[in-house]
Homo-oligomer: A and B are copies of this chain.
Amino acid sequence: MSQFWSPLVHTLTPYVPGEQPKVNNLIKLNTNENPYPPSPNVLAEIKAQTGEQLKRYPDPNSDVLKQTIAQYHQLNSNQVFVGNGSDEVLAHAFQALLKHDKPLLFPDITYSFYPVYCGLYQIDYETIPLTDAFEINIPDYHQNSGGIIFPNPNAPTGRLLALDAIETLLQQHPNKVVLIDEAYIDFGGDFNTQSAVTLIKKYPNVLVVQTLSKSRSLAGIRVGFAMGNPNLIEALERVKNSFNSYPLDRLAIYGAKAAFEDEAYFQKTCQKIIQTRQNLTNTLQELGFQIIPSAANFLFVSHPNHPAEQLAHALREQAIIVRYFNKPRINQYLRISIGTNTENNQLCQVLQQVIEH
């Protein structure tokens, strides 16, 4: 508390990200990073851009990256917005598109940054409970609101909502923005039938946000993007250009571009994760875990006989970290990022010891 603080600051409850430990030798399955390295082409391109030109400002509009993403998703450049990680993109979207007189709607169990953004921008919101099976039930959103946002697949549950349900939602709410936060969509297995990107041409009210931090193994360079009608993109640009002219540095712009240009590596990595997710699911089920069906690069699991917090603690003692949320409805669950097969096996060995002990 301080006389120097703007009144708003006293009211904030900041987001707490998953731990980024500073020691090595940990098996890190707590923040849904990709267990595989970035494409070698990306690393080569970043090194190639690391020269005298870093004395110059980057392109404030990141045009080469927008063009690359647009081409990749068969859109125009003015349907693409880029930012310093999808968290920044989401922040701008909350301020630019989701702040209205009526409350914003999102699930009670979802990305826990959403209520934090609402605090920062003083946006009224209402949470809509997931079903007992942790599913989003579209009719529950059929009420007066200023906008709707949820991740698909949802986090931390991993559950995918079918595209026809999203299309119904867009049709039922033509006068408000529906933001689909697709941080994990590339792990669903069939982008073309699962991503709301395919709905952009038809619906002016859908904004799709994606990131390079998960499926493209680039959490370390901070690039996220939004796709939608040029009218929605313009609102984001106006806020961005009132906040920071140069959110993406030169290395991020060109590294991200190279990531989209190495489709083979991307596909191979995603397929490996989908495969190991299945292996891990099988093994955990054999250990008695109940597992929410996941279309993401993590599993949301609980064990009928072992409290989740104790399991997280036992794993931590063996240098394996997973995410535990001490929150209503989900405090008996662990969110476990999909690691390599070796990492997953070590996880299962420790869990087996705890459970059979």
Residues of A within 8 A of B (CB): 2-9, 12-17, 20, 22, 28, 31, 33-38, 42-43, 46-47, 50-60, 63, 84-85, 87-88, 91, 95-100, 116-117, 119-120, 175-177, 204-205, 213, 217-222, 231-232, 234-235, 237-252, 255
Q: Residue on B with the closest CB to A3?
A: B175
Closest-CB distance, A57 to chain B (whole angstroms): 4
With A239-B120, A242-B116 known as contacts, the answer to whether A217 contacts B14 (CB < 8 A) is no
Q: Name the residue of chain B whose CB is nearest to the CB of A247.
A: B84
Q: Which of A17, A97, A219 has the most CB of B within 10 A?
A: A219
Q: State how many angstroms separate the Cβ of A90 from the closest Cβ of chain B.
A: 9
B28 contacts A218, C-beta separation under 8 Å: no
Whether A9 pairs with B219 at a CB distance below 8 angstroms is: no
Cα A4 to Cα B13 with chains together (Å): 27
Distance from A187 Cβ to chain B, minimum over Cβ atoms (Å): 15
- Asked if A87 meets B244 with Cβ closer than 8 Å, knowing A56-B33, A60-B17, A221-B249, the reply is yes
Report A356 CB to chain B, min CB distance, Å: 32
Most chain B C-beta atoms within 10 Å of own C-beta, residue among A47, A54, A177: A54
CA distance A12 to B97 in the complex (A): 13
Q: Provided the pairs A54-B221, A57-B213 are in contact, do residues A242 and B14 lie with their beta carbons within 8 angstroms? A: yes
Query: Mind listing 30 A-B residue pairs with CB under 8 Å?
Result: A2-B232, A4-B231, A4-B235, A6-B95, A6-B96, A8-B99, A9-B235, A9-B238, A14-B238, A20-B56, A20-B59, A22-B59, A33-B55, A34-B55, A37-B55, A38-B55, A43-B54, A46-B46, A46-B50, A46-B251, A50-B50, A54-B217, A55-B220, A57-B219, A91-B243, A91-B244, A220-B250, A222-B246, A222-B247, A222-B249
> Which residues of chain B have C-beta atoms less than 8 A from A54's C-beta?
37-38, 42-43, 217-221, 255
Bound complex: CA A176 to CA B52 (Å): 41
Task: Given A84-B84, A116-B242, A252-B249, check contact A235 B2 (CB 8 Å).
Answer: yes
B46 contacts A12, CB within 8 Å?
no
Q: Which residue of B13, B37, B100 is within 8 Å of A52 (Cβ)?
A: B37
Q: Report chain B residues within 8 Å CB of A17.
A: 57, 60, 245-246
Q: CB < 8 Å: which of B5, B36, B237 contacts A235?
A: B5
> A220, B6: Cβ atoms under 8 Å?
no
Chain B residue, CB-CB nearest to A118: B242
What is the minimal beta-carbon distance from A68 to any residue of chain B, in angstroms? 15
Contact between chains at A56 and B219 (CB < 8 Å)? yes
Contact A4–B238 (Cβ < 8 Å):
no
* Cα A250 to Cα B14 with chains together (Å): 22
Q: Is the Cβ of B99 less than 8 Å from the Cβ of A6?
A: yes
- Given known pairs A37-B52, A43-B50, A55-B38, the reply for A220 and B249 (CB within 8 Å) is yes
A6-B95, A36-B55, A222-B247 given; name 18 further pairs at CB < 8 Å: A2-B231, A4-B204, A13-B242, A15-B245, A20-B56, A33-B55, A37-B51, A38-B52, A38-B54, A42-B54, A46-B46, A46-B251, A53-B220, A54-B220, A55-B218, A58-B222, A222-B246, A251-B251
Tell which of B58, B116, B232 touches A4, judged by Cβ atoms closer than 8 Å: B232
Task: Please give the distance in Å from A35's CB to the nearest CB on chain B.
Answer: 8
Residues of B within 8 A of A60 (CB): 17, 20
Chain B residue nearest in CB terms to A224: B244
